[in-house]
């Protein structure tokens, strides 16, 4: 092993060094193992390992100017094909970085500043050497040949023959063509044991394969086998425990293959043509590329022209000309007052998947249209010409696709005053198609490129981003040069950190640093302690350290995957997690204003009194919380029950917008499936539905009950739960008897005196109609018979009905 002399290299002019780095891998002295105590250096192009058959190479791979990742790639394919990376989201500097097999057995990747970027879990083991096998597997073995660590256990976006996909691994796409950091699409075993593809973007998460519109069994899968394992063999056959099986079109032995989660969201199997040394697609998960979710962003539409392309509907324009992920933004404002006239624009054969409003169906087209007209939340509706006609109101437009196969059309709600030209309707963005409108981008950044029978997405924006990245690196390089002169070797981490900030796994050290060694405690819950922290990219976060370390790895992953896919304005976003042998942590979005209980029930022991919540805020919090729960119950692909709704779990952001937190107790269960059994009681006294005590099946109605209690507390400004639990005598004369009376009157359609129920601290400043609606809903939610409780969707609808009351009122008076 060649020992590298750092000082001699560092005395080279940096530009020469850079060139030397760029002209790497020209000549090399192949070796296939690295022994304990030695290392590979980023500067030395002969510091690589090759597999005995020379097909695979392992070493530092350039991912940007002066940015490298420790990787494994196919040595001789036309364009070197990377199959694995240790540090795809944290590239290291082109100088001074190295991978070392330390004396203590750890294989560690260090950056210029000596800081650890990545390491294996082999500390303290009897590691002898690192070896690259013919299969492309990089392994650490002890003197007896036992494998202590292998790269096959932590795939990036590629699965190689003989490699397995397990419940602990996923394939995560790269950000874009020619990029390497983690992107938006992944392939993983879901909580119900089914292998799926999911889009996990900044605004939404959405499963798109296998077809989410039909059941697991209709997709030819099963969810009975919980082994969650898939094997891809030398013959080109793929077999998964959920009964998914497929084979390469050129099935047979002796052909090099790789299964890749592509950056366009498709999962493809590639076979190597050894005469041309290039890759040919021999299987792909989705024939219809537009069925991939999230491709064209919010309001965007994917259409075949015949190549799949993204475009914006009339009245919308691309939000970010470089990035379709950001979708399209409206060029109008739809207000929900009665003075603004709206019209509907038909987009034939177009569908938007998901985000359905709870509209009745089947109904006539006119009824469907009127429902959308009346609902403020309705941005558009999709009318399907199947059976008697199905009506879907859309609150958000995502996953738009236009295909001749779709038996229906979408109708966009637009202000009547907005002029749109019919020729700006989604279609190919062929620049020769003679229109000189400027609102719709002429050439959307996604092009579809057919190359020798294989298809490939080319993201123009990736070039733009790449140029940006290169700029950052050049800038950083300058800095490094300056600082080096002054003897301050500064890490360039900042530049490459910016590359990736999606949902991800954090290291314990990272979180310890972020939270300043867990100093700033935000609160304590049943499931753990929450600390405030600041990530390297300056995002303020809440880090929850789960106290219960006994909690199984599996349960933890379950929770994390639940989170990872849920994305709604009224639900706390999770940014990532950390799962070590001892530590389990979750990283959440930080809510500036803390939890609702602080405002509702002022604590006499707290020195700073929280301000009184105004009525408008109370109503908004109630509505937002209802929307969040309705989303969990009705709109998620999986049916999620929270099980622990209480003011402590409703966080308030800087605008006092509520965000439901702590899904730690929730459990996924298949919609309509038999899986709604809970093994142990969850929840908090005073908010728990009677079902828990009665041993009845637990359904989403337990959340409705708890929500009812919270709703009444928001109105009354008092801890209702503790009141009811208190002494019988006090209780009967207090709130409960009042509620009984109210209930009786509601039952008899009588008016009740809402002033008696509303928080007296508001001094009468509240909206009477909203307050009585909230009390009525609250009481119907806490019905003992769960069948009598409304659904969360119905609650949202009822609250929405009185939402714009003041505005409509004024409008009527003006007329």
Ligand X SMILES: *[C@@H]1O[C@H](CO)[C@@H](O)[C@H](O)[C@H]1NC(C)=O
Of the two residues 41 and 271, which places its CB atom closer to ligand X in the complex? 271
Site string for ligand X, 6-45 (x = CB under 6 A): ----------------------------------------
CB 572 within 8 A of CB 659: yes
CB 46 within 8 A of CB 29: yes
Of the two residues 77 and 491, which places its CB atom closer to ligand X in the complex? 77
State the Cα–Cα distance between residues 37 and 744, nearest whole angstrom: 81
Least separation in angstroms between CB 751 and ligand X:
29
Query: Using the rule CB under 6 A, is 450 a contact of ligand X?
Result: no
Residue 147: both structure tokens together: 């494998």
Query: Using the rule CB under 6 A, is 579 a contact of ligand X?
Result: no
User: Within 220-259, which residues bind ligand X (CB under 6 A)?
Assistant: 225, 227, 229, 241
Residue choice 245, 340, 364, 516 for contact with ligand X (CB under 6 A): 340
Least separation in angstroms between CB 272 and ligand X:
9
* DSSP 8-state secondary structure symbol assigned to residue 696: P
Query: Using the rule CB under 6 A, is 479 a contact of ligand X?
Result: no
Query: Using the rule CB under 6 A, is 811 a contact of ligand X?
Result: yes
Query: Using the rule CB under 6 A, is 482 a contact of ligand X?
Result: no
Of the two residues 674 and 693, which places its CB atom closer to ligand X in the complex? 674
Of the two residues 227 and 737, which places its CB atom closer to ligand X in the complex? 227
Of the two residues 11 and 339, which places its CB atom closer to ligand X in the complex? 339
Least separation in angstroms between CB 63 and ligand X:
14
Which of these ranges, 293-301, 329-337, 468-476, 652-660, lies near ligand X under the rule CB under 6 A? 329-337
Of the two residues 79 and 516, which places its CB atom closer to ligand X in the complex? 79
Q: In what helix (H) or strand (E) does residue 702 lie, and over which residues does it extend?
A: helix 701-716
Angle between helices 792-801 and 701-716 (to 10 degrees): 30
Residue choice 24, 97, 122, 181 for contact with ligand X (CB under 6 A): 122
User: Within 61-100, which residues bind ligand X (CB under 6 A)?
Assistant: 78-79
Number of residues located near ligand X, criterion CB under 6 A: 27
Query: Using the rule CB under 6 A, is 276 a contact of ligand X?
Result: yes
Site string for ligand X, 131-150 (x = CB under 6 A): -----------------xx-
Q: 388-397 in b/e burial notation, b at 16+ Cβ within 10 A?
A: ebbbbbbbbb
Q: Where are the beta strands (DSSP E) in 162-277?
A: 164-166, 171-174, 182-189, 195-200, 205-209, 229-232, 237-240, 245-247, 257-261, 267-273
* DSSP 8-state secondary structure symbol assigned to residue 571: B
Q: Among candidates 252, 251, 272, which has minimal Cα distance to 260? A: 272
Query: Using the rule CB under 6 A, is 695 a contact of ligand X?
Result: no
Of the two residues 8 and 432, which places its CB atom closer to ligand X in the complex? 432
Query: Using the rule CB under 6 A, is 376 a contact of ligand X?
Result: no
Residue choice 332, 463, 474, 508 for contact with ligand X (CB under 6 A): 332
Angle between helices 14-22 and 460-485 (to 10 degrees): 140
State the Cα–Cα distance between residues 52 and 332, nearest whole angstrom: 63
Count other C-beta atoms under 10 Å from residue 298's C-beta: 21
Least separation in angstroms between CB 505 and ligand X:
13
Of the two residues 211 and 337, which places its CB atom closer to ligand X in the complex? 337
How far CA 195 is from CA of 251, 293, 776, in Å, comes to 22, 16, 44
Query: Using the rule CB under 6 A, is 275 a contact of ligand X?
Result: yes
Residue 173: both structure tokens together: 């796409």
Residue choice 10, 20, 321, 331 for contact with ligand X (CB under 6 A): 331
Could you give phi then psi for residue 724, rounded to 5 degrees?
Answer: -65, -35
Least separation in angstroms between CB 105 and ligand X:
8
Least separation in angstroms between CB 263 and ligand X:
14
* DSSP 8-state secondary structure symbol assigned to residue 612: P
Query: Using the rule CB under 6 A, is 164 a contact of ligand X?
Result: no
Q: 623-655 in b/e burial notation, b at 16+ Cβ within 10 A?
A: bbbbbbbbbbbbbbbbbbbbbbbbbbbbbbbee
Site string for ligand X, 644-683 (x = CB under 6 A): ----------------------------------------
Which of these ranges, 22-30, 325-333, 669-677, 731-739, lies near ligand X under the rule CB under 6 A? 325-333
Least separation in angstroms between CB 241 and ligand X:
4
Which of these ranges, 121-129, 186-194, 512-520, 529-537, lies near ligand X under the rule CB under 6 A? 121-129
Site string for ligand X, 188-227 (x = CB under 6 A): -------------------------------------x-x
Query: Using the rule CB under 6 A, is 517 a contact of ligand X?
Result: no
Count other C-beta atoms under 10 Å from residue 722's C-beta: 11
Of the two residues 555 and 741, which places its CB atom closer to ligand X in the complex? 555
Of the two residues 370 and 435, which places its CB atom closer to ligand X in the complex? 435
Q: Among candidates 447, 433, 451, which has minimal Cα distance to 308? A: 447
The C-alpha torsion from 35 through 40 and 46 to 50, rounded to 10°, is 50
Residue choice 211, 245, 249, 335 for contact with ligand X (CB under 6 A): 335
**Catalytic residue (choose from 192, 264, 644, 759):** 644
Q: Which alpha helices (DSSP H) does 142-214 contain, by range?
A: none
Least separation in angstroms between CB 282 and ligand X:
10
State the Cα–Cα distance between residues 631 and 629, nearest whole angstrom: 5
Q: Is 644 noted as a catalytic residue in this protein?
A: yes
State the Cα–Cα distance between residues 590 and 574, nearest whole angstrom: 10
Least separation in angstroms between CB 339 and ligand X:
4
Q: Helix or strand or coil: residue 379?
A: coil
Least separation in angstroms between CB 637 and ligand X:
24
Of the two residues 337 and 386, which places its CB atom closer to ligand X in the complex? 337
Q: Among candidates 353, 195, 193, which has minimal Cα distance to 267? A: 195
Query: Using the rule CB under 6 A, is 596 a contact of ligand X?
Result: no
Least separation in angstroms between CB 12 and ligand X:
29
Which of these ranges, 9-17, 108-116, 286-294, 333-341, lies near ligand X under the rule CB under 6 A? 333-341
Say which residue the tokens 């499931």 belong to.
527
Query: Using the rule CB under 6 A, is 121 a contact of ligand X?
Result: yes
State the Cα–Cα distance between residues 594 and 520, nearest whole angstrom: 14
Longest dimension (CA), the chain: 92
For residue 417, count CB atoms less than 10 angstroms from its CB and return exposed for 0-12, middle for 13-18, buried for 19 or more.
Answer: exposed
CB 725 within 8 A of CB 686: yes
Pairing status of strand 574-579 against strand 504-505: parallel
Residue choice 337, 364, 450, 722 for contact with ligand X (CB under 6 A): 337
- 545 in a labelled binding site: yes
Query: Using the rule CB under 6 A, is 516 a contact of ligand X?
Result: no
Strand partners, 425: none
Residues 6+ apart with CB under 8 A from 630: 791, 792, 793, 795, 796
State the Cα–Cα distance between residues 493 and 113, nearest whole angstrom: 10
Binding-site entries for ATP: 545
Binding-site entries: 545
Active site residues: 644
* Residue ranges binding ligand X (CB under 6 A): 78-79, 121-122, 125, 148-149, 153, 225, 227, 229, 241, 273, 275-276, 278, 331-333, 335, 337, 339-340, 435-436, 807, 811
């Amino acid at each position: 092993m060649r020992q590298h002399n750092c000082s001699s290299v560092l005395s080279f002019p940096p530009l020469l060094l850079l060139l030397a780095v760029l002209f790497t891998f020209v000549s090399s002295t192949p070796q296939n193992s690295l022994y304990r105590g030695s290392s590979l250096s980023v500067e030395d192009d002969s510091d690589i390992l090759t597999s005995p058959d020379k097909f695979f190479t392992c070493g530092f791979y350039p991912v940007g100017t002066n940015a490298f990742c420790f990787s494994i790639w196919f040595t001789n394919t036309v364009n070197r094909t990377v199959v694995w990376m240790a540090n795809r989201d944290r590239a290291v500097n082109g100088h001074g970085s190295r991978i070392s097999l330390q004396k203590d057995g750890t294989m560690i990747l260090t950056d210029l500043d000596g800081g650890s970027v990545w390491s294996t879990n082999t500390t303290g083991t009897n590691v002898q050497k690192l070896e690259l096998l013919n299969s492309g597997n990089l392994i650490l073995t002890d003197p007896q040949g036992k494998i202590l660590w292998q790269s096959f256990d932590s795939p990036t976006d590629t699965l190689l023959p003989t490699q397995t996909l397990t419940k602990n691994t996923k394939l995560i796409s790269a950000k874009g063509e020619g990029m390497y950091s983690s992107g938006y699409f992944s392939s993983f075993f879901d909580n119900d044991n089914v292998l799926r593809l999911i889009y996990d973007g900044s605004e939404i998460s959405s499963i798109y394969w296998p077809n989410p519109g039909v059941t697991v069994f209709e997709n030819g899968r099963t969810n009975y086998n919980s082994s969650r394992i898939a094997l891809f063999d030398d013959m080109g056959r793929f077999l998964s425990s959920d009964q998914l099986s497929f084979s390469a079109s050129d099935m047979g032995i002796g052909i090099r293959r790789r299964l890749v989660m592509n950056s366009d969201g498709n999962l493809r199997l590639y076979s190597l043509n050894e005469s041309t040394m290039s890759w040919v697609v021999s299987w792909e998960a989705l024939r219809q590329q537009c069925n991939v979710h999230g491709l064209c962003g919010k309001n965007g539409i994917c259409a075949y022209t015949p190549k799949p392309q993204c475009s914006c509907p009339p009245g919308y324009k691309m939000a970010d000309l470089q990035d379709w992920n950001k979708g399209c933004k409206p060029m109008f404002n739809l207000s929900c007052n009665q003075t603004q006239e709206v019209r509907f624009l038909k987009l034939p054969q177009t569908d938007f998947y998901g985000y359905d409003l709870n509209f009745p169906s089947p109904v006539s087209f006119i009824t469907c249209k009127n429902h959308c007209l009346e609902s403020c939340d309705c941005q558009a509706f999709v009318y399907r010409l199947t059976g008697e006609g199905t009506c879907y109101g859309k609150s958000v437009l995502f996953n738009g696709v236009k295909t001749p196969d779709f038996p229906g059309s979408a109708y966009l709600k637009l202000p009547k005053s907005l002029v749109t030209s019919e020729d700006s309707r989604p279609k190919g963005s062929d620049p020769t198609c003679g229109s000189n409108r400027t609102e719709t981008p002429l050439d959307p950044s996604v092009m579809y490129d057919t190359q020798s029978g294989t298809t490939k997405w080319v993201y123009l924006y990736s070039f733009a981003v790449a140029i940006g990245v290169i700029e950052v690196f050049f800038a950083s390089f300058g800095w490094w040069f300056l600082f080096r002169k002054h003897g301050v070797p500064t890490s360039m981490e900042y530049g490459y950190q910016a590359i990736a900030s999606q949902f991800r796994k954090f290291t314990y050290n990272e979180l310890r640093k972020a939270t300043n060694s867990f100093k700033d405690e935000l609160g304590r819950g049943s499931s753990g302690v929450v600390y405030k922290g600041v990530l390297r990219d300056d995002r303020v976060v809440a880090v929850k350290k789960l106290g219960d370390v006994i909690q199984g790895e599996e349960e933890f992953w379950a929770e994390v995957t639940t989170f990872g896919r849920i994305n709604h304005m009224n639900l706390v976003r999770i940014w990532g997690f950390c799962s070590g042998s001892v530590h389990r942590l979750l990283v959440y979005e930080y809510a500036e204003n803390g939890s609702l209980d602080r405002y509702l029930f002022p604590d006499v022991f707290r020195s700073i009194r929280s301000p009184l919540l105004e009525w408008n805020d109370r109503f908004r919090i109630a509505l937002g919380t209802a929307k969040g729960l309705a989303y969990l119950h009705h709109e998620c692909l999986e049916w999620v029950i929270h099980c622990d709704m209480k003011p402590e779990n409703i966080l308030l952001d800087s605008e006092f917008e509520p965000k439901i937190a702590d899904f730690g107790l929730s459990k996924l269960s298949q919609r309509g499936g038999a899986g709604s059994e809970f093994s142990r009681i969850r929840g908090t006294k005073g908010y728990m539905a009677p079902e828990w005590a009665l041993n009845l099946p637990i359904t989403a109605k337990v959340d409705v009950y708890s929500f009812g209690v919270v709703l009444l507390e928001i109105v009354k400004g008092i801890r209702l739960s503790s009141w009811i639990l208190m002494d019988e005598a006090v209780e009967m004369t207090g709130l409960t008897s009042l509620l009984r009376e109210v209930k009786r009157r509601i039952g008899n359609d009588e008016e009740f005196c809402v002033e008696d129920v509303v928080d007296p601290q508001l001094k009468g400043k509240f909206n009477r109609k909203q307050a009585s609606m909230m009390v009525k809903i609250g009481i119907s939610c806490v019905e003992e018979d769960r069948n009598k409780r409304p659904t969360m969707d119905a609650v949202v609808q009822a609250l929405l009905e009185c939402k714009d009351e003041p505005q409509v009122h004024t409008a009527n008076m003006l007329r």
